[in-house]
């Protein structure tokens, strides 16, 4: 596998607290890499380091792409409360892909997952503040996956709070991203989010300087 990004002996300290010690990690091209680990182990901080918003105190991060080619969907990102769903989709789609400036709402939805497109149609005149958490998150993920110009998409707990059917849609969107020749790195607590072809990285063991990469079957047996 060709590497897209590599961390070598990376250490991170926040004030006097050691977060990471000697992390070594490779993210391959054209694959889905899934980050797992116990709560509070530092998954979000590791994603910040990979995305370039946080720098290690020691060690090196070698990227086979520029920072501008990395897209990061953090847990705290929300849809604008005062905009309708139609206005929100038009705003973000044009922001991510300027070529869509003259495209209408209906044309934008043609690239959406069919079920998410149906949701967007039903909610188009509704303000984001009136939509459910799951509806907003699924729309945001679809926008990010469909119109993102980035080569590496990083998503922090994208399926948290989603129903099993919505999590299934998320994985179908991941497949779409891979078909476009891009790579994905996301974290999860849901073992059903993991496919046999995924690269699974356990941060609990990575933090001891060892990269644990397992198949889905072995991983589920070990971490029930």
How do residues 93-130 score in pLDDT, each as one tens digit?
A: 888 888 887 778 888 888 899 999 999 999 999 998 88
- pLDDT on residue 207: 58
Give 3-222's CATH code, choosing from 1.10.260.40, 3.30.930.10, 3.40.50.300, 3.10.20.600: 3.40.50.300
How much is the pTM? 0.85
Residue 33 has φ and ψ, to the nearest 5°, of -105, 130
To the nearest 10 degrees (0 to 180), the angle between helices 114-123 and 85-96 is 130
Higher pLDDT, 16 or 143: 143
Q: What is the mean pLDDT of the chain?
A: 85
């Amino acid at each position: 596998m060709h590497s897209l990004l590599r961390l070598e002996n990376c250490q991170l300290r926040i004030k006097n607290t050691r977060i990471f010690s000697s992390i070594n990690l490779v993210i391959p091209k054209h694959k889905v890499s899934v980050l797992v680990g116990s709560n509070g182990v530092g998954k979000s901080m590791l994603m910040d380091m990979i995305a370039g918003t946080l720098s290690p105190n020691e060690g090196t991060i070698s990227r086979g792409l520029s920072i501008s080619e990395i897209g990061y969907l953090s847990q705290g990102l929300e849809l604008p409360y005062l905009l309708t769903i139609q206005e929100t989709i038009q705003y973000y789609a044009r922001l991510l892909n300027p070529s869509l400036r003259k495209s209408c709402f209906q044309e934008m939805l043609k690239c959406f997952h069919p079920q998410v497109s149906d949701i967007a149609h039903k909610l188009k005149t509704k303000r984001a503040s009136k939509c459910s958490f799951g509806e907003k998150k699924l729309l945001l993920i679809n926008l990010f996956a469909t119109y993102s110009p980035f080569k590496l998409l990083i998503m922090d707990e994208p399926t948290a709070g989603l129903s099993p059917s919505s999590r299934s849609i998320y994985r179908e969107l991941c497949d779409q991203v891979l078909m476009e020749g891009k790579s994905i790195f996301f974290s999860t607590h849901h073992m059903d989010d993991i496919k046999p072809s995924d690269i699974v990285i356990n941060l609990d063991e990575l933090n001891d300087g060892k990269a644990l990469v397992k198949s889905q079957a072995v991983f589920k047996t070990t971490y029930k």
